[in-house]
Copies of this chain bind each other. A is one copy, B any other.
């Protein structure tokens, strides 16, 4: 039924370019498929069997909760991103879930064990996958240093730049971002309070550097950020 669909979903992901059709089919057989709507919560960390998920459409945020109940946004994911047990090791100690940010998302998933089998049988894929995980780590390290050495204003600017470059529609130096985040979300991402984020966003707007509303964010000249 959906097999053809799933096939293409995996097929067009960079990571799987090296795989033959039959190898992808092998993974596809065990692929789960799921749709969800804005606001839905997808639990994955303590799910029955450890899985790897692939976000095919839409945006989600990965949120974790610590012992004291503090919510932290770990990542914002877009189309094509992988999440779940990326380190290939089930881990109960982290309490994470995904929350849907856009109107409609579609997600497919496969069992960790099946993915491992595939990796063992495809060394080139294994290598690409390792590089992929390594890249993710680098991005984390980078955020980390930003948090340490930059103030909230600078972190907001880098975040907006980053977001624009990853997802915005470019027109010269002008970028238009489809805004699916609330100011509270942005605040959590740049690790500050909601109030400070509001303040800084309005400040940027007063200086005519950005134009902000709930639907979109327009950056007139990205170099001014």
Q: List chain A positions with a Cβ less than 8 A from chain B.
A: 64, 66, 68, 70, 72, 74, 86-89, 91, 94, 116, 119-124, 126-127, 129-131, 133-138, 140-141, 143-145, 147-149, 191
Tell me which residues across on chain B come within 8 A of A149, comparing CB atoms: 66, 68, 70, 72
Q: Do B64 and A137 touch (CB < 8 A)?
A: no
Give me 19 A-to-B residue pairs in the complex whose CB atoms sit less than 8 angstroms apart, sorted by A's number. Answer: A64-B145, A70-B149, A72-B148, A72-B149, A86-B137, A87-B130, A87-B133, A88-B130, A88-B134, A94-B138, A126-B126, A126-B127, A126-B130, A129-B130, A140-B140, A140-B144, A143-B144, A144-B147, A148-B191
- Copy total for this chain: 2
Given A87-B134, A119-B126 in contact, is the A147-B145 Cβ separation under 8 Å? Answer: no
Report the minimal beta-carbon distance from A121 to chain B, rounded to whole angstroms: 7
Q: Which residue of B lies closest to A147 (CB)?
A: B147
Tell me which residues across on chain B come within 8 A of A122, comparing CB atoms: 123
Residue of B68, B72, B87, B127 near A137 (CB, 8 A) is: B87
Tell me which residues across on chain B come within 8 A of A120, comparing CB atoms: 123-124, 126-127
Complex CA distance for A143 and B74, rounded to whole angstroms:
12
Complex CA distance for A86 and B94, rounded to whole angstroms:
24
In the complex, besides A119-B127, A126-B130, A140-B140, 4 extra interface pairs with C-beta distance below 8 angstroms are A94-B138, A119-B126, A133-B137, A144-B147
Q: List the 4 closest A-B pairs by CB distance, nearest first.
A: A87-B134, A126-B126, A137-B137, A120-B123
Tell me which residues across on chain B come within 8 A of A130, comparing CB atoms: 87-88, 119, 126, 129-130, 133
Complex CA distance for A138 and B140, rounded to whole angstroms:
10
Q: Do B91 and A141 touch (CB < 8 A)?
A: no
Report the minimal beta-carbon distance from A178 to chain B, rounded to whole angstroms: 27
Q: Do A72 and B145 touch (CB < 8 A)?
A: yes
Residue of A72, A122, A130, A131 with most partner-chain B CB within 10 A: A130
Q: Do A86 and B134 touch (CB < 8 A)?
A: yes
Residue of A94, A116, A123 with most partner-chain B CB within 10 A: A123
